[in-house]
Amino acid sequence: MGTGMPEGIIGPECANNAVTGGALIPLLALGIPGDPVTAILLGALMIKGLQPGPLLFEQQPVIVKEIYISVILSYVAIFIFSIFSIKIIARLLNIKSSILSTFVLVFCVIGSYALNNSYFDVLVAIAFGLIGYWMRKEDFPLGPMTLALVLGAMIEQKLGGALKLSNGSILPFFTRPVSLALFVLTLLFIAYSVWGVLKVKKKQAAK
């Protein structure tokens, strides 16, 4: 990396493309998105009345096949398109980021308004854009925020159903083996992430 060797570009780009298929596996099999892109895909499927999970393979097997066929065909199309347009795409890097950002902002505003023809949606988009800018400036990851926005409604719905089954008691979340194991694993992942951040800060402070 950083020495001019093409492997330094090829390796990360191959990994970046390979993660798409892997992220689709938990999305389609369990209804859990593997990355922010599949989180958006989850929202699109739910809008169409499709609930990703084991039942999707039984009730809508054609949809699952079409998703994976489209992914395979998209890689083929991208490969062919890249061969003939790589020089033009490389020239786009010379465009100032301020100009590109302006076009992106305009299309985001148009898209948010076209969704429901509502100015309120535009204000919400601008508000979250400012929040995202602040998060990016303060080095907060945007992926978890995207996942939370997409999965929030689903979590509330499932939590409400679980509380109805337990007559409003939260004890089954901590007494059932599966839910207890998931809760413990969640705490361990959080503790490990916090420990990693503190370790990095400690090394930086030592320098």
> Average pLDDT of the chain?
82
Q: What does the pLDDT read at residue 188?
A: 92
- pLDDT band of residue 1 (cuts 50, 70, 90) is low
- The DSSP code sequence of 129-195 is HHHHHHHHHTT--SHHHHHHHHHHHHHHHHHHHHHHHTTT--THHHHSHHHHHHHHHHHHHHHHHHH
Nearest to 155 by CA among 143, 132, 173: 173
| 34-37: long-range contacts, CB 8 A cutoff, minimum separation 24 | 35/143, 36/142, 36/143, 36/146, 36/147
Domain limits, the chain: 1-94, 171-207
Q: Which amino acid is at 50?
A: L
Distance CA 88, CA 77 (A): 17
Angle (CA) 64 73 25, round 5°: 35
27-48 mean pLDDT: 78
Query: How do residues 161-188 score in pLDDT, each as one tens digit?
Result: 888 888 888 888 888 888 888 889 989 9
Query: How do residues 49-89 score in pLDDT, each as one tens digit?
Result: 787 887 888 888 888 888 888 888 888 888 888 888 878 87
